[in-house]
Structures are given as C-alpha cells and as structure tokens.
Amino acid sequence: MPQPYELTVSQAAQQIKDKKLSPVDLAQSLLERIDATDKDLKAWVTIDREEVLTTAKQREEEAQQGKTRGLLHGVPVGLKDIFYTAGMKTAAGSKVYADFVPDFDATSVAKIKEAGGIILGKAVTTEFATSDPSPTFNPWNFEHTPGGSSSGSSVAVATKTVGAALGSQTGGSTCRPAAYNGIVGLKATYGRISRYGVVPVSWSLDHVGILVRTVEDAALMLQVMSGEDANDPGSASEPVPDFLKQMAEFNKPPRIGIVSQYYQEKSTPEVWANTQAAIKQLTDTGTEVVELSLPNSFRSTHSAQRIVMNVECAAFHEQFHATQAEDYGPRVRSGMEMGMLVPATKYLQAQRLRRQFRQDMVQMVGQVDVVLTPATPAPAPKDRNTTGDASFQVPWTTSGLPTVTLPSGLSEGGMPLAIQLGALPFEEGKLLGVAKWCETALGLQLSPPNYS
Amino acid sequence: MVNMKPDDSVEAIAVELRAQAVRLWGEHRASELDTSIQQTAQQLWDLGQETPHRDLEPGFYQ
C-alpha cells in the first residue's frame, strides 16, 4: 500500500472521489514529506500549513457528501513563486519583490481552486524566472544543478512532496528542469494557458508550464488550466478539447520526425545514443520514423529569442532598475541592461523573424504526428553556478509550439536523461497521446534513489 | 542612442553598445558588462544576416 504522498495526481483524485483517501490525510502526508526532505533540498519557499489543512478539511467534508468540485478535488498542487496568490507572498526569488503580496489569484491558480485543488505552497524559483541559480539542490546528486528556472517545482515533484507543480518557460525553464530531475514537463501552445497574474520575464515568450510524474497527470492539469482569458492579451480563443479523451484515444503507432541536424551535433554522444535507443524501442512498437530538415529560419531563432526576452524584460523592470539595480542578481540585471541597449528596429526584426520561424516550424512539424529530440544536450551539469543549457527548448518556446519532456534513461553518472516531443499548435491532445505511447513503450519512471 | 548600419561587424556593433552602456551606467559598469555586450552584439549581427519577407509583420502574441 503506497503512502499518500507517493500517489500521482490522477490516482489521488480518483481515490478521493471513491472515498478511499482523505484529502486531509493526503495533505498531511505531503507536509510531513516536506518536513523530512526540504531542509536539504530547499525546493519550497512559502507554505501556509493552516490554510492547507483547513481547505483539505473542507474538501474532505464535500467529498464525504459526494460533492466534488472538479478534476482536482482535494489534491494539493505547488506553484512556482511567480504565480500570484491572493494574500500569500509572491517574491519571485527576488529582493525587489520580497514583500509583494498580490490581492488576486493568477488565472491558472483560480482554475486549480475551481477544480477543487488545494494550493500546497510556493516553490523556489530562480530570481524573476531567469538564470541566476536558485538555492535548490538536485535530488539525484547535490553537486549538479537542478536546472532552472522552475527548480523548486521540478525538485518538489521529483521527490514526491507534491504530485503536480506549476512552472513557467520563456526559454527552457519547464522542460529542462523536468529533464534534469527525471520527471514529465509540459509546455502547452502559446496562448493555451493564461499568463494573467504570473510575474513576467517576457510577455510574448512566457508560457505557463506543468511539472508532474506521468503523462496522464500532464493531461489532467492541462485540462484544468486551459482556456481563453480576457485578462491575457496573448490568450487564444481556440476551443478546449477533452485532452484526457484525446490522449486515451490515440492508440496507433505514431509517425515521428527526428532532426539529426543540430540536435546530434549539439548532444553529447551519451545523450544521442540514449535518444537513438529510445527511438529503437519505439520502432519496435511499430512507430514510423522520418528524418526532417530544420527550416533556414532556425539559424537566427536563438538570437531572436534572446533579443526579445532581454528587451521585454528590460521594459518590465525599467522602473525598478532605476532605483534598485543593486538588488538584482548579476545575470538578470545584465540581461535587462542588454535589453535597454537594443534598438527598437532590432527588437521588431527579431519579432518578424520569430513569426517566419513559427510558420516554417508548422510546415516541418505538420509532416508527422510529433517531432522527437533529446530534451537537453547533456544531463544536468555538475556545476551549481549554472542552470544548464536551454538550447533544445528555445526553438519550441520561440515558435510557441507545444512540447512535452519525459524520462528516457540514466547517464553513466546516474543522472536522468530525457526526450522531448513537439507538435503542431493546439494539438496537445495528439502530443499527449504520443507521449503516453512513448511512456508505455519506454516503460520507465525515474525516482531519485535517496527520495524514492 | 545606438547607431548601427546593416553591414556592421560584430565588433562594430559591440563598440556601439559599449559606448551606450558607458553613457547610461559609466565606465565601471560597462566593463562589467563586456561579456554580455559581446554576446548581444553577436545576436544582433545574427539577426542582421536574415532578410524577412517585406510583407512579414512582427509576431508578438503567436
């Protein structure tokens, strides 16, 4: 019989619905797990235990009466500390926001609550979700980076102190730490999940991210949070399908595209061999594999992403920077200062090139069900002064196409390796269906040995 | 203001960026930013190598 903290989101929600699990017992189990692990891991920054247990008690009473609010009834969820929470500090890992207490919930947080979810607490983020490393430790090996910027959320999920946590991605901040910690990360299509009430890095690049331990949980969380939001100017009016149904109905061998160009060159031999081994396992299940070529517009996509991110970051922080520049970490500060130097014409050229790249990516990805790449060029670096390499996520973030990352093995040094799948805009149902297919074919669920 | 010509080299772009950084934040801070300035100059140069189609408008919200 597993401990409540070991349950996935889907398992916990089902057991609560079936009156086999008490939301209070689940919340208590997770809080005790945090007490037992977080002194070492430093994944959590703010937890209101009284509020968690009070809400869990309410959900328990409702469940006992057969009343459930939605898919997450009684299930705790963690939030990267850039998501606004009414009445709860949202410090964004920064001195500049150290005392900021929002008076409303981010739309994604409100949707979690509407679905019966319980906000367990705020997870550590790198400063303003950029690249100055956070204090969080990688549970697989404390000498390696946990990645960033969603470091606390990823480590919290990997070590089973929560079943699901929200992250964000402007470059590679959800799928890269997911890969480094051996869990599942989902970045939906730009506009699918509202950004309203999320401290921005870059308005036109920021995505809300999902960190979980199974593909099914990724689909469930996406279902809860998707939808148009008038408060987010980048929100899409695309209808929200039944992702769980679409995922379950995808039951034929997929047609997968691989891109050796660039991804092979940039990967370590070990990572590339692991990806090839994963592809072999998939072809054994009947998967068709097609080699694809990157569009010419790929050449400038990393530079375009960096220019757009720095300029928009500079615009957001301009007033704080004028009076509190010394309060910023070195990398976030230099990034915004670079943004202040970029001419407006160059920013607009970067946005034009992004648009071209997105159009070209749609053409490329449209030839297959999904494109498969390694998730990162190498496993989590043995260096706590970096958050790792986001270059394999950047093309997908820049173009706004949806991606999912899932574990594909362990390196010789015992660190997680992962693959990344990308699909057409707003085809998350198919993406998750293929991801589920891959998860089953690879038959792998990783757990850090000291935190199993 | 930063002045750049379409055919400027990475080094020429870096010189312009650095001059602007000195004007805004002084010589000391500009020196601290040298690595970032080189990277940004390279990124701006990369963008300058591409010629977007004349009818292509910026993406912003994808």
Q: Are residues A243 and A257 in the same domain?
A: no
Cβ–Cβ under 8 Å, residues A137 and A122: no
Q: Are residues A340 and A390 in the same domain?
A: no
**Across the interface, which of A190, A303, A340 has its CB nearest the CB of B47?**
A303
Domain assignment present for B38? yes
pLDDT of A368 strictly over 80: yes
Q: Are residues A122 and A195 in the same domain?
A: yes
Domain assignment present for B20? yes
The SS3 of residue B43 is: helix
Q: Are residues A233 and A91 in the same domain?
A: yes
pLDDT of A333 strictly over 80: yes
Domain assignment present for B41? yes
Owner of token pair 């149904």: A245
Average pLDDT estimate for A133-148: 98
Candidate list A153, A173, A194, A267, residue with the active-site label: A173
Shortest distance between the Cα of B11 and any Cα of chain A, in A, equals 15
Q: Are residues A307 and A263 in the same domain?
A: no
Q: Are residues A82 and A193 in the same domain?
A: yes
Q: How confident is the model at residue A452, as a pLDDT?
A: 87
Q: Are residues A78 and A152 in the same domain?
A: yes
A210 to each of A113, A177, A402, how far by Cα in Å? 16, 11, 12
ipTM: 0.97
Shortest distance between the Cα of A132 and any Cα of chain B, in A, equals 14
**Across the interface, which of A338, A346, A400 has its CB nearest the CB of B47?**
A346
Mean pLDDT over the full length of chain B: 93
User: For B6-44, what is each residue's pLDDT tens digit?
Assistant: 889 999 999 999 999 999 999 999 999 999 999 999 999
Domain assignment present for A377? yes
Mean pLDDT over the full length of chain A: 98
Domain assignment present for B31? yes
User: For A218-252, what is each residue's pLDDT tens digit?
Assistant: 999 999 999 999 999 999 999 999 999 999 999 89
Q: Are residues A46 and A132 in the same domain?
A: yes
pLDDT of B3 strictly over 80: no
How much of chain A exceeds pLDDT 90, in percent? 99
Domain assignment present for B55? no
Q: How confident is the model at residue B1, as a pLDDT?
A: 59
Count of structural domains within chain A:
3
Q: How confident is the model at residue A26, as a pLDDT?
A: 98
Q: Are residues A256 and A244 in the same domain?
A: no
Global pTM value = 0.98
**Contact assignment for A354 to B59 by CB distance below 8 Å:** yes
Structural domain span for residue B16: 10-46
| Confidence tier at A429 by pLDDT (50, 70, 90) | very high
A84 to each of A23, A39, A87, A286, how far by Cα in Å? 24, 25, 9, 45
Structural domain span for residue A421: 250-295+358-427
Domain assignment present for B30? yes
**Contact assignment for B62 to A350 by CB distance below 8 Å:** no
Q: Is position A89 annotated as part of the catalytic site?
A: no
Q: Are residues A220 and A343 in the same domain?
A: no
Q: Are residues A343 and A225 in the same domain?
A: no
Average pLDDT estimate for A191-197: 98
Q: How confident is the model at residue A304, as a pLDDT?
A: 98
The SS3 of residue B61 is: coil
Domain assignment present for A452? no
Domain assignment present for B61? no
Q: Are residues A340 and A387 in the same domain?
A: no
Sheet holding A255-258, edge to edge: A44-46, A118-123, A76-80, A165-169, A207-212, A184-187, A403-410, A416-422, A370-374, A255-258, A288-291
Region of B40 (left: φ > 0; alpha: ψ -120 to 50; beta: rest) is alpha
Count of structural domains within chain B:
1
Domain with residue A124: its CATH number is 3.90.1300.10
Q: Is position A447 annotated as part of the catalytic site?
A: no
Q: How confident is the model at residue B8, as a pLDDT?
A: 94
